[in-house]
A and B are shown apart, each in its own frame.
Chain A
Amino acid sequence: MAKEVAFEAAPQPRLLRVLTALTALGFLATLYLGLVVAGTDIEQGDIQRIFYIHMPSFFGAFTAFGATVVGGLLYLARKNDAWDRIALAGAEVGLAFALINLLTGAIWARPIWNTWWTWDPRLTSAAVMCLIYAAYLMLRAGIDDMSRKRNFMSVYGIFAFVSVLTTLFIIRIVPETIHPVIVGASPQNAQGSFEATSGVVTALAPSMLLWLTLMPITLMWHRYRLETRREALDQKMIQALGD
């Protein structure tokens, strides 16, 4: 006996469509602010403009990885699959943002530090953070038992956030870093610092707002819906095979 397996994709919520449009427009607007409106840094040249993406992308990753922690905690507490999907969405989107942060930093470092990479505490912790979340996605793909996978990845996602906090605070703790600090005094050995003038802040503030809120939320929502559909597909396949 064949059962009805037709599956209609749920239409995008109106709010998600609005968020997607706002995110796209916001991204273009912040690019315009950083690349055209903001003045050229007279010491660093045009490459300083990458900062308007470099720093916000880290905070975007912070939001997304934070969602992985919240999703993990609430999944463990309530055993609701939706929280696990949020945790997964956070890890995937956060990793993309963290990679943007890492690579734009390396590209900035080439003309300013005269090297693509150095084993500075901040750079090393950022690279380790990326590896930890890449491992999250690989491990997740490697566990078949759904319940075991969700429990394990929830715990992993919570502990992985230690690497995010380490990356955030390490330049305040380890004085040997050469990574500059924009808010507050840079470490003594910092190279490539620049002043947070009103022009820099005016270009940076909208970018921070976008990367901290709209971009991770919108992308995670799309990823969440994708995972919901994928899980529904799995169920349909199991159901069809069972029949």
Chain B
Amino acid sequence: MMNTIIAVAIMLCLLLAGGASASDHDETLPYYRMGAVNVPILEGWANQSSADFAQFELTEAQATIRTAFVSANNGIDAAQAELGEMLGMDIDGPVYSDKVNLADGTWNVLAFDIDEATTASSMARRSEAGFIVINFVERNPAARTVLVAITQADESRDVADPEIARMTEALAGVGLTQFSGVEVIDLASGTWRVFRHPELTAMGTVFGNESYVALQEGQPGDLATLADAYNRTLLGFFVTPDNSHYLALGLAVVFLILGTLVFSFSWRSRGIQRDLALIQQLAQSED
């Protein structure tokens, strides 16, 4: 009776097991899986992802964020190649280029001025299969947006003001003193400080030792949405590690221990049988 119950329970579990496979492709997961790369799905953005890239578009802002694997010699080439793929054109070199060391590696930080309507910001880092590139493209002629990460010179600040000032002066020739005060807003990607100017909006946040700065020329007013989405992609994406060799080692250990136990039962049983045969033989020889 007990055996029947156990057998039925196992069969039921096997039948129910179809549900287990869902965890790999769960539609409710907040990530788009692209091979081993998991990219946060941006709510409110149109998901245009494919097997080759994760792409989200915000139509009203004419903005696109694409994450992809790119085979290239360096991060700049990788970002340029992927931008060219996105826009269907050759891309000139970046107007801004820097590097930052984040927890998952060294990233190239780039900004491109494509044409009068189009700007792009890119981050690229080396991975096993080439480069992981996160490109932000805005095709809004009313706005020109730049999103960059900058390593803080000192590592103790929780505001990005010096980096914001550095970027506004470098890219727009406007100092922070020319902005009308500061506003603090809480977004999903963190707390941002926003500086407004008649023709320029600048905002920045800090994560670890890096300042994340967003600039927007013109006044479309969607900088917070774009900066938040880009940062959530950058800070939220992760690569599922390939550690199947450790799993193989673990299974080998399980089979070794269980195999040794079962083999020892068999070995000792045969030993007992041999000893018994010997005793029997001795007893018969005494007869």
Contacts and interface: CB of A to CB of B under 8 A. Distances in A.
Size bracket of the B interface: 35 or more
Contact of A206 (B10, B283, B284): B10
B250 A50 contact: yes
Contacts, number: 172
B19 A93 contact: no
Contacts of A93: 261
Interface in A30-45: 33, 35, 37-45
B253 A203 contact: no
A236 B244 contact: no
Contacts of A57: 254
Interface residues of A, number: 65
Query: Among the interface residues B6, B7, B247, B287, which one has the most CB atoms of the partner chain A within 10 A?
Result: B247
Contacts of B262: 219
Contacts of B249: 107
A171 interface: no
A42 B236 CA distance: 13
Interface string B251-285: 10110011011100100110011011001101110
B126 to A, nearest CB: 20
B19 A198 contact: yes
Interface in B203-242: 238, 240-242
Main secondary structure of the interface of B (DSSP, over half): helix
B31 interface: yes
Interface in B10-67: 10, 13-14, 16-26, 29, 31, 33, 38
A178 interface: no
A2 B23 contact: no
B30 to A, nearest CB: 11
Given A33-B20, A226-B268, A2 B287 contact: yes
B272 to A, nearest CB: 5
Interface string A42-73: 11111101100110010000000000000000
5 contacts: A37-B20, A104-B253, A213-B6, A229-B272, A233-B276
Interface of B: 3, 6-7, 9-10, 13-14, 16-26, 29, 31, 33, 38, 238, 240-244, 246-247, 249-251, 253-254, 257-258, 260-262, 265, 268-269, 272-273, 275-276, 279-280, 282-284, 286-287
